A and B are shown apart, each in its own frame.
Chain A
């Protein structure tokens, strides 16, 4: 790559030159909201918008000279040079945690006025701690009471390399005290000959890995929460569809508890299961090759 810039055309934009020095994310879906991110440490070039994503997983060969983007210092050392040795680079290091809803969207609401958006944010803190103990670096899609769009949340995961994505939910139905894990249901895979993956179906190449990851986490959860399924289920979860990484949704039943403490008591068990499931998934993690990714 060094010294060999490549060119990307985005509709409405001039030819632009990208070098191996940085990765760039152009969201050209809405021109007014066009943003450019410098994603140091993540070796993916993502063009969202004209609905095309190019994940340049196979591109980076040269060492990165800059530290990672993560706000989390914890495990940064392990991935400080993700472009370094190819063996290290292919590993799973990052977990993107997505506390669902937030802001004007409270999610499911219980009779006692408890809100899904608040509970999952607190849960994320615990999951994060458990994951860090397992040596993962954690990136959260929201830190406070905001409501990023589905695409914004996916974009955070799509910008990472060596990442998995976990979205956290509380259901309004189901047997209280159980936890269900979902992978996305089948998506028609459309891959252009040039290796472009449509943003709208970014999850398609990862479905098999997502299911495997989901099964592992669900397996850990069923040990702790009796009555939960043995394996992950599939559902047409909007959040997962645009995520270009092994991605699962974890949904705790349910918001219809007498008081919040019942759900809070489940948090450590859920956190532990997600952390151990992610650690167990680590050996299976390989970035699916995109045929003909680069000229």
Chain B
């Protein structure tokens, strides 16, 4: 009886050791994976903080034109029509379309902007100048070159032109700073003309209306208009 008892205890211990030998590596791997997941979610949380989800499902769904590359080897843009719930407020609407543009098309080859780039802020000045502040990644991850940088800028300006008529010019900032070029070639010191044609006829008939209309748009207290317009009074060029 005692020998049977002993052998049972011994075999039980052996099994426990074996089980532990098998289980411990698995446990270690799981802990590691969990740590990585946590890191990722922190990164996600930071992104979400920077980019609050501004889509309101009750907004009417609008056919939105987003400009992505027509072909992976070509630097021309084609509009892709997507139905999105868009806000009426031009600032909110600009954020929504730019975030969708950044999210990219179904075919990742046709992206115009780096996948890790984030829109940090968007402001609209009373004169119709939009200011888009992108994260560092827009400049550091966009392929360096005239064609690729111009395509990135064009996809932003043409998407705004097609969807947000109130934006007439666009100034691009990188992490809140004015930079000389996007990635060594395309000039970001001036403002790009977004809606040149639409802007002019609008100004003449109603001079007073636009300013009254757009007053709420510039309301965000975070904007520092004292500084921005001075810098913006720089050459304008059409992309």
Contact = CB atoms under 8 A, between A and B. Distances in A.
B127 to A, nearest CB: 15
A191 B180 CA distance: 23
Interface string A231-244: 00001111101000
Interface in A172-192: 172-175, 180, 182, 184-188
A171 interface: yes
B150 A108 contact: no
B237 interface: yes
Contact of A187 (B75, B145, B237): B237
A107 B185 CA distance: 10
B185 A185 contact: no
Given A188-B237, A201-B235, A236 B144 contact: no
Contact of A241 (B74, B153, B187, B238): B187
A101 interface: yes
A240 B25 CA distance: 60
Contact of A185 (B148, B234, B238): B238
A200 interface: yes
A249 interface: yes
B73 interface: yes
B180 A238 contact: yes
B147 interface: yes
Interface in A228-282: 235-239, 241, 249, 251, 253-254
A218 to B, nearest CB: 13
Given A171-B145, A172-B144, A173-B143, A236 B184 contact: no
B147 A236 contact: no
Interface in B138-187: 143-148, 150-151, 153, 180-181, 184-187
A100 B181 CA distance: 14
Contacts of B73: 173-175
A237 B187 contact: yes
A140 to B, nearest CB: 19
Nearest to B145: A171
Nearest to A238: B187
A196 to B, nearest CB: 15
A105 interface: yes
Given A150-B180, A185-B238, A241-B235, A172 B185 contact: no
Contacts of B143: 108, 171-173
Max chain B C-beta neighbours (<10 A), residue from A172, A173, A174, A238: A173
Contacts, number: 92
B118 to A, nearest CB: 22
Nearest to A190: B235
**Interface residues of A: mostly helix, strand, loop or mixed?**
mixed
Max chain A C-beta neighbours (<10 A), residue from B145, B190, B192, B234: B145
B239 interface: yes
B148 A236 contact: no
Contacts of B189: 200, 238
A104 to B, nearest CB: 12
B146 A169 contact: yes
Contacts of B153: 236
A212 B153 CA distance: 25
A258 B71 CA distance: 21
B145 A108 contact: yes
A235 B187 CA distance: 9
B148 A172 contact: yes
Contacts of B238: 185-186
B89 to A, nearest CB: 29
B237 A173 contact: no
Contacts of B190: 236
B181 A238 contact: yes
A123 B55 CA distance: 50
B236 interface: yes
A280 to B, nearest CB: 23
A278 to B, nearest CB: 20
A186 B147 contact: no
A174 B187 contact: no
Interface string B2-17: 0000000000000000
Given A186-B238, A236-B153, A236-B237, A105 B147 contact: no
Given A173-B75, A186-B238, A188-B236, A238 B186 contact: yes
Given A108-B143, A236-B150, A169 B235 contact: no
Nearest to A200: B235
Interface of A: 100-101, 105, 107-108, 116, 150, 169-175, 180, 182, 184-188, 200-201, 235-239, 241, 249, 251, 253-254
A-B interface, 6 closest residue pairs, ranked by CB to CB distance from nearest? A172-B143, A171-B145, A238-B187, A235-B150, A173-B148, A236-B187
Given A187-B237, A200-B235, A236-B237, 6 more contacts: A107-B184, A169-B185, A173-B75, A235-B147, A238-B185, A253-B147
30 contacts: A108-B144, A108-B145, A116-B144, A170-B145, A171-B143, A171-B145, A171-B147, A172-B143, A172-B145, A173-B143, A174-B74, A174-B145, A174-B147, A174-B148, A185-B238, A186-B193, A186-B237, A186-B238, A188-B237, A201-B235, A236-B150, A236-B153, A236-B190, A236-B192, A238-B181, A241-B237, A251-B146, A251-B147, A253-B147, A254-B145
